[in-house]
Structure 1
Amino acid sequence: MKKNLLIIGAGGVAQVVAHKCAQHNDLMGDINIASRTLRKCEDIIASIGQKGSMKVPGVLKGHALDAQNVGATIELIRATKSQIVVNVGPAFVNMAVLSACLATGAAYVDTAIHEDPLKICETPPWYANYEWKRRDECEKAGLTAILGAGFDPGVVNAYAALAKAEYFDRIDSIDIIDINAGDHGRYFATNFDPEINFREFTGQVWSWQNNQWTSNKMFEVKKEWDMPVVGPRTTYMTGHDEIHSLSQNLGVPNIRFWMSFSERYVTVFTVLKNLGLLSEQPIKTAEGLEVVPLKVVKAVLPDPSSLAPDYTGKTCIGDLVKGVKDGKEREILFYNVSDHKAAYEEVGSQGISYTAGVPAAATAMLIATGEWDVRRMANIEDLPPRPFLDLLDKIGLPTQIRE
């Protein structure tokens, strides 16, 4: 059993993790939230108070922290006696936070792959560039480090593991389909950190096809999927974290990721990219100021957490798995449908943050109970899927299965 939680980050996903863990603080113990900006932590704490999310009286405290500072993070973990760290800060801090966990013995959870701020779309498989290099270090220390514990990556990995364990003798393909059929009412905004969002789409699109890495350009390959509840939607094949672990761990020859984008998103993205405004490399203005174009774009766009009050509509995310069972071809869709308005009413965040934050909270709970306290580094598909999916059914992300 592990107790006391430190949440690193104070955006929309952190707000969901904090609310969900507060709803189960009899299990989780003390809850601490850390961010560069203390006010953001305090806003989440105020939201938890307004919603009455704390199950029992307990510690709920905010802290100012630069998570890139390993020493400061070690000090905070020890000061708060945190045994579980959920890292939902920018992907740039992952390795620093993991180092702090290795130094203190606190279990580590994240929701996205580590990124170097000056590198975009590195050589696949991406996990091998940073995280997997530290597998032996984690195993030697007996440290539980669970990677990619959001929805995609995360829940979709568990769907794939469930499909392999219980529904198929052979899997030929997995198409991961992410549809956001919601409307936030803004001319243009991203649903999570604009810098991370744009970085996902400015490089090559890597997919796993015929047991090898295949490269395309963004928006080069599109397909219409008719998904439950949200109906027909145009999607584009793009690269994504989960492809980089599933391709290595499950022995499936074809794994692709599809995401829906509106025509407006595609147009604005294309213009920004063609103008050089999505570059991660510093430039100098005529006045001699050094700026990073991508950070300037981020600064002028709406904060994703500000979208929540006006967001309507639903998301549908799932795995379409094709293969063979008992000598017969089989095709199954494993999926979840979530509602933006319902998410806001429950935890004060929009549905995209909700679908990422609830699985991270569930992972922390499973570490706390010992079911997923595996004392090594693991991706979600490395772990038994049933405890995870059963818990998600109970706390807000029920799985649907359509043959």
Structure 2
Amino acid sequence: MSTVLVIGAGGVSSVCVHKMAMNADIFSDIHLASRTKSKCDAIAASVKERTGRDVTTYSIDAEEVPAMVNLIRKVQPSLVVNLALPYQDLPIMDACLEASVNYLDTANYEPKDEAKFEYKWQWAYHDRFKQAGLMALLGSGFDPGVTSVFTMWLKKHKLKTIRQLDILDCNGGDHGQHFATNFNPEINIREVTAPARHWENGEWVETPAMANKVNFDFEAVGPKNMYLMYHEELESLAKFVPELERARFWMTFGDAYITHLTVLQNVGMTSIEPIRYQGKEIIPLQFLAAVLPKPETLGETTKGNTNIGVIATGEALDGSGEKTFYIKNICSHEAAYEETGNQAVSYTTGVPAMIGSAMVVTGKWSGDGVFNMEEMDPDPFMDMLNSDGLPWTVEELDGPVSF
């Protein structure tokens, strides 16, 4: 039984807190803080209505380290769960070190002024967390997160080595909007418009954003165009699966999304360079994010399924030669909304955030320092995916993927 403090009050946080409340045997007291307390209060009200559990709420600026330290000391949690924005990771980690508490997040650090996701800034905290006897678990979402656990489960149970790896992220849902993002618009658009990178033969290969497209038939969704992108778990997978010859990340986008994004990019609305407007300095992408539909409001209208998985090729564990396995989860937007009031993109990140938190507070995953998901035993995490809303399947394919 553990007390946890969750930072952030978007759709992912809402799912995570709902699922924590549904696991009362693990999470005895749940505290929720965000810059806007009314958002926390709305989540707390939904949790109370759905589960009968109370969630204590606070207002906090996650970038103000002294205020964060004071809040942590007031709550006295065994774990701080960072579901805020990626560029708030480091100040929250600083606060956790000063207040002597374990840390977890779902996305790696990104500077405000540069669209560049990298683990180096957080990996640099390893010795400080180790010396403090604390654990920091990075990237406990779906991708990154579950995709890394999928990979390590295959390596533990199916494949002695992994030669090729492809991560396929498909959102087959329709939210009925002309243009909207299914998670934080600012982070989503920064990801999509950044150059693509994949790991091949020991080095990073960079290509223009959205330049490589493949059509793939996804179970429970149908044929969709998926695009080669860079995603942060490629960095940790290349480090912790050293025999990888090639690792790629693919994400689906509809034609209408691509058209809208292209126009917005062409007119400068996706820029993160400050401009002067009516005597004030604004960042175009932040302004765009403010006028787009909030992801947490899309749950009621979104219909369809997500399908996220990993295809891995390598030497079979049983010595039977090279084999290819496809491990995936299919999640219904409607079912996610019925259970938590949020669509499946938030659900598929919020549930793994809860499971990662459960791994840490129960001691099933432990260690002093900064850790990625690949360094942990995949089995207890995989068990909770099945029991807590994200069941997975694994199948053997005829051979390596040809795209």
Matched position secondary structure for 1:201? helix
What is aligned with 1:283?
A: 275
What is aligned with 1:363?
A: 356
What is aligned with 2:341?
A: 348
TM-score by length of 2: 0.95
Indicate whether 1:194 and 2:189 are aligned: no
Matched position secondary structure for 2:187? helix
8 Å Cα contact 1:19/1:53 also seen in 2: no
Distance 1:302 1:391 in 2: 32
What is aligned with 2:367?
A: 374
Q: CA deviation at 1:373?
A: 2.6
Paired residue type of 1:96: P
8 Å Cα contact 2:197/2:205 also seen in 1: yes
Distance 1:324 1:232 in 2: 29
Paired residue type of 2:194: G
Matched position secondary structure for 1:145? strand
Q: CA deviation at 1:32?
A: 0.5
8 Å Cα contact 2:108/2:232 also seen in 1: yes
Matched position secondary structure for 2:9? coil
1:77 to 66, 72, 81: 72
8 Å Cα contact 1:151/1:355 also seen in 2: yes
8 Å Cα contact 1:174/1:254 also seen in 2: yes
8 Å Cα contact 1:229/1:337 also seen in 2: yes
Distance 1:70 1:3 in 2: 23
8 Å Cα contact 1:237/1:259 also seen in 2: yes
Distance 2:191 2:88 in 1: 17
8 Å Cα contact 1:235/1:259 also seen in 2: yes
Q: Deviation digits for residues 267-288 of structure 1, max 9, x if unmatched?
A: 1111111111111111113x33
What is aligned with 1:397?
A: 390
Distance 1:368 1:289 in 2: 45
Distance 1:202 1:345 in 2: 33
8 Å Cα contact 1:16/1:347 also seen in 2: yes
Residues 136-155 of structure 1 mapped to structure 2, 5 A cutoff: 136-155=127-146
8 Å Cα contact 2:21/2:51 also seen in 1: no
Paired residue type of 2:374: E
User: Residues 200 and 274 of structure 1: is their aligned pair in 2 closer, same or farther, counting only changes over 3 Å?
Assistant: same
Q: CA deviation at 1:369?
A: 1.1
Runs of 4 or more above 6 Å deviation: none
8 Å Cα contact 2:162/2:241 also seen in 1: no
Q: Deviation digits for residues 337-391 of structure 1, max 9, x if unmatched?
A: 0000100110111000000000110111111211113222110011000010111
1:272 to 264, 270, 276: 264
Paired residue type of 1:385: P
What is aligned with 1:29?
A: 28
What is aligned with 1:213?
A: 204
Indicate whether 1:89 and 2:84 are aligned: yes
- What is the aligned residue count? 393
What is aligned with 2:240?
A: 249
Paired residue type of 1:333: Y
Distance 1:53 1:277 in 2: 43
Q: CA deviation at 1:203?
A: 2.2
Q: Deviation digits for residues 34-66 of structure 1, max 9, x if unmatched?
A: 000000000000111221253xxxx52110000
Distance 1:228 1:81 in 2: 45
Distance 1:306 1:369 in 2: 33
Percent identity over paired residues: 39
What is aligned with 2:376?
A: 383
Matched position secondary structure for 1:25? coil
Paired residue type of 2:64: N
Paired residue type of 1:260: T
Q: Deviation digits for residues 3-29 of structure 1, max 9, x if unmatched?
A: 200000000000011001111123212
Distance 1:53 1:95 in 2: 34
Distance 1:257 1:185 in 2: 27
Q: CA deviation at 1:318?
A: 0.4
Distance 2:24 2:79 in 1: 13
Indicate whether 1:335 and 2:334 are aligned: no
8 Å Cα contact 1:23/1:53 also seen in 2: no
Matched position secondary structure for 2:192? coil
What is aligned with 1:103?
A: 98
Paired residue type of 2:337: Y
1:160 to 132, 151, 159: 151
8 Å Cα contact 1:173/1:321 also seen in 2: yes
Query: For structure 1, which runs of at least 5 residues remain unmatched after alignment?
Result: none
Matched position secondary structure for 1:321? strand
Distance 1:5 1:341 in 2: 28
8 Å Cα contact 2:31/2:75 also seen in 1: yes
What is aligned with 1:314?
A: 305
Q: CA deviation at 1:231?
A: 2.4
Distance 1:44 1:256 in 2: 36
1:263 to 243, 248, 255: 255
Paired residue type of 1:169: K
Indicate whether 1:16 and 2:11 are aligned: no
8 Å Cα contact 1:145/1:378 also seen in 2: yes
Indicate whether 1:38 and 2:37 are aligned: yes
Q: Deviation digits for residues 217-276 of structure 1, max 9, x if unmatched?
A: 111001122222222211000010101111111111211000000001111111111111
Q: CA deviation at 1:79?
A: 0.4
Q: CA deviation at 1:290?
A: 1.7
What is aligned with 2:400?
A: none
What is aligned with 1:323?
A: 314
Indicate whether 1:67 and 2:67 are aligned: no
Matched position secondary structure for 1:108? strand
Distance 1:267 1:65 in 2: 37
Matched position secondary structure for 1:310? coil
TM-score by length of 1: 0.95
Q: CA deviation at 1:327?
A: 4.5
